[in-house]
């Protein structure tokens, strides 16, 4: 009986801790989104080009035959030129498509014309795209964020789509997060299910988390 009471107390503590972290994430999202709204077009375009250059210089990118990459929204780092670059190189490209609440799959595309406006107002593979990539086939993944830190901890939009999908990827799949330097934070509130990235890429350089080597 005493053990059950103790277990209940521990579960209550955990629930309270998770609620605190969720609230911290919510507050941080609001602060970073305010910063994003103040970025100039010139600043974002310049950093986008530098980040693309950083990605293309990576051995992990060059050596990968199958790549997962998000399709950017207006406020995110522009990945459209990168998607075209991947397609032109002959690599297999999988991009995300939400198929249910909290559920996301990677559909292979052959060209950018196959991207259509989805239910969330985000470009995603159209109905003609019927090949779903097995997550275990992905060798290099490019992941979005609202913010992150130099330890590879990521602040997303809060839907959990990417965390659930990243869990399915193989251990040897290198996962890179893209973030503008001005939007990085020293600390990111994290929960147990939050996935840590292997690489952090900004306009200033690349941070390798696993090897603990900074290329900036």
Q: Is 83 within any annotated ligand binding site?
A: no
Q: Is 76 within any annotated ligand binding site?
A: yes
User: What 8-state DSSP symbol labels residue 149?
Assistant: -
Q: Is 153 within any annotated ligand binding site?
A: no
Q: Is 157 within any annotated ligand binding site?
A: yes
Q: Is 158 within any annotated ligand binding site?
A: yes
DSSP result, 80-144: HHHHHHHHHTT-EEEEEEEEETTEEEEEE-SSGGGEEE-TTS-EEE-TT---BPPGGG--EEEE-
Q: Is 25 within any annotated ligand binding site?
A: yes
Q: Is 162 within any annotated ligand binding site?
A: yes
Sign for the pseudo-dihedral over CA of 101, 104, 110, 115: positive
Residue 184: Cβ within 10 Å count: 18
Q: Is 165 within any annotated ligand binding site?
A: no
Q: Is 155 within any annotated ligand binding site?
A: yes
Q: Is 187 within any annotated ligand binding site?
A: no
Q: Is 90 within any annotated ligand binding site?
A: no
- Cα gap 9→3, rounded to integer Å: 10
Binding-site annotation: residue ranges: 25-29, 71, 76, 154-162
Binding site for ATP: which residues? 25-29, 154-162
Binding residues for substrate: 71, 76
């Amino acid at each position: 009986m005493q053990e059950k009471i103790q277990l209940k107390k521990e579960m209550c503590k955990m629930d309270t801790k998770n609620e605190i972290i969720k609230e911290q994430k919510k507050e941080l999202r609001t602060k970073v989104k305010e910063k994003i709204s103040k970025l100039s077009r010139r600043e974002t375009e310049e950093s986008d080009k530098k980040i693309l250059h950083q990605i293309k210089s990576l051995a992990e990118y060059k050596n990968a035959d199958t790549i997962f990459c998000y399709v950017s929204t207006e406020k995110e780092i522009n990945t459209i030129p990168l998607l075209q670059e991947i397609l032109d190189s002959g690599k297999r490209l999988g991009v995300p498509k939400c198929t249910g609440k909290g559920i996301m799959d990677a559909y292979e595309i052959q060209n950018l014309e196959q991207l259509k406006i989805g239910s969330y107002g985000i470009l995603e593979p159209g109905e003609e795209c019927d090949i779903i990539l097995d997550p275990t086939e992905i060798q290099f993944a490019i992941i979005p964020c609202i913010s992150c830190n130099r330890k590879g901890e990521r602040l997303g939009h809060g839907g959990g789509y990417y965390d659930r999908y990243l869990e399915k990827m193989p251990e040897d799949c290198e996962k890179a997060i893209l973030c503008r330097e001005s939007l990085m934070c020293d600390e990111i509130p994290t929960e147990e299910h939050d996935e840590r990235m292997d690489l952090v890429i900004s306009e200033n350089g690349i941070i390798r988390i696993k090897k603990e080597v900074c290329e900036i």
